[in-house]
Amino acid sequence: MTWLMHYAAEQRLACYVVGGCVRDWLLARPVGDIDLVVEGDAIALAEAWTTVWPDQLHTHPPFGTATVSWLDAGALVSLDLISARRESYPQPAALPIVQFARLADDLARRDFTINCLALQLANQPTNVIDPHNGLVDLQRGLIRVLHKRSFIDDPTRILRALRFAARLEFRLEPSTAELLQQGLPWLDQTTPARLWNELGLLLSEPSAFKALSLADEWGVLQQLCGCAWPQALNHQAQCLLPNLPNEQLAISWLLLMSQLSPNAAQAQTKRFGLPKPIRQAVGQWHALATTAAMLNTTLSAGKLDRLLSPFEPLVLQVWASTQTPLVQQQIAYYLQALRPIASQLSGRDLQAQGIKPGPEYKTLLAAARERQLDQFAAENPNLC
Ligand code: CTP
């Protein structure tokens, strides 16, 4: 950074730290990646830097941006260098046309006043540059757009507003709330990839479940995927997290999709291009629903195992949280006690007994496993 400061001064390039990192620094929150706006050619600056410091460089010439990454105490740190730019939207929800410009233009193209704060990179301390009164909104805990068309130009900002509101515990400023409502139909014009970009971030944050409640309250979920997020789901999701700490995104998505019909859930999951394990989990969820009546009667260990073994443990755990105590108890017993047990009989044993390999192997092995588990349950009644 010191090198960058000297080099920029030498080249008479004005550089500013901008956006989320200034916001988070002022809120005394952990600062993530740093965005640096350059009134000039950001790519040339990044290239000059990496000739002196051999850090990783990625350039994006159509946008005049570059990312420099390096390891700091084992963690990967990134700095985005952005050529100050003006943006215009050829049509609502389309990608913007970019022209190089001054810092003021660059700040004016942004989403919310709290993200339009800048600090000049200089040798001596400077004041925060705040052309849109973001400091006042930061103090008052308000999310405010810069102009009336903001959500129409870029409807993904609706999802960003949710993310910041949940994360920072901020509120929408009243006229921004109205504009957001007017912007909702434009979500339909936005490509699913861009929507998922933001939605995936939202569902991965610690405040994801809160964001989903807000999304329900603001009508975003209804517009986005035709479903709701009832308050009860918040509690269920929170209870699941300690056992599935790395599965927050899958938990949120499965519970959300459980509000839809099987076909609609599959269609939404496909539309947003979710990863294969989640797509399969959504399919399994609805297949599991057809077993609910059976699971609501007490099953023998062998039958329970036979019924549940086709399903992934993640789906079983999340689905169980939406079911009766008896179903929950049987699924927990299956996952903890039965599933880890290896089958005593294998295909090789059947071959050794002189049974010709064929379709009946499956039946014989399943029946043997059922007997084995029933015996296990009889010998370990305290585990049931
Ligand atoms: N931005 C925007 N409209 C968008 C996306 C981004 O105006 N649809 C602007 C915002 O000013 C934002 C900056 O680009 O501050 C950088 O984007 P990003 O890194 O996504 O935002 P951060 O505020 O840094 O978010 P986070 O704290 O989650 O990293």
Distance of CA 102 to CAs 87, 146, 323, Å?
A: 12, 17, 57
- Nearest to 112, CA basis, from 72, 190, 48, 167: 167
Q: What pLDDT is stored for residue 33 in this prediction?
A: 83
Backbone angles phi, psi at 97, to 5 degrees: -90, 135
The tokens describing 44, both together, are 């040339």
Q: Please work out, in degrees rounded to the nearest 5, the angle formed at the alpha carbon of residue 330 by the alpha carbons of 327 and 331.
A: 85
158's CB contacts (< 8 A; 6+ apart) are: 151, 180, 183, 184, 187, 220
Q: Whose CA is nearest to atom 21 of ligand 1?
A: 20
Q: What does the alpha-carbon distance between residue 329 and residue 350 come to, in Å, rounded to a whole number?
A: 34
Alpha helices by DSSP H, listed for 53-148, are 103-108, 134-140
Pocket test of ligand 1: the residue of 110, 116, 145, 170 to mutate, having most ligand atoms within 8 Å of its CB, is 110
Task: Give me the pLDDT at residue 384, please.
Answer: 67
pLDDT in tens, 251-281: 999 999 999 999 999 999 999 999 999 999 9
Residue nearest to atom 19 of ligand 1 (CA): 20
CA nearest neighbour of 232 among 249, 248, 213, 207: 213
Q: Give ligand 1 pocket residues (Cβ under 6 A).
A: 19-20, 32, 35, 110-111, 115, 154, 156-157, 160
The confidence score (pLDDT) of residue 159 equals 98
Q: For ligand 1, atom 24, which residue shows the shortest CA distance?
A: 20
Q: Write phi, then psi, for 341 (nearest 5 degrees).
A: -75, 125
**Residues contacting 221, CB < 8 A, separation 6+:** 212, 215, 227, 228, 229, 256
Helices (H) and strands (E) in the chain, counts: 21, 10
- Name the residue of 115, 159, 162, 167 whose CB sits within 8 Å of the most ligand 1 atoms, as the mutation to test its pocket: 115
CA 78 – CA 239 distance, rounded (Å):
34
* Closest CA relative to residue 219, chosen from 122, 151, 316, 301: 151
Collect all residues with Cβ–Cβ distance below 8 Å to 4 and sequence separation of at least 6.
15, 36, 45, 49, 121
pLDDT tens column, 103-126: 999 999 999 999 999 999 887 778
Question: What's the pLDDT score for residue 341?
Answer: 96
**Torsions phi, psi for 55 (to 5 deg):** -90, 170
Q: What does pTM read for this prediction?
A: 0.89
Token duo for residue 241: 């997290």
Q: Write out residues in the chain with pLDDT < 50, as ranges.
A: none
Coil/strand/helix, residue 124: coil
pLDDT of residue 82: 94
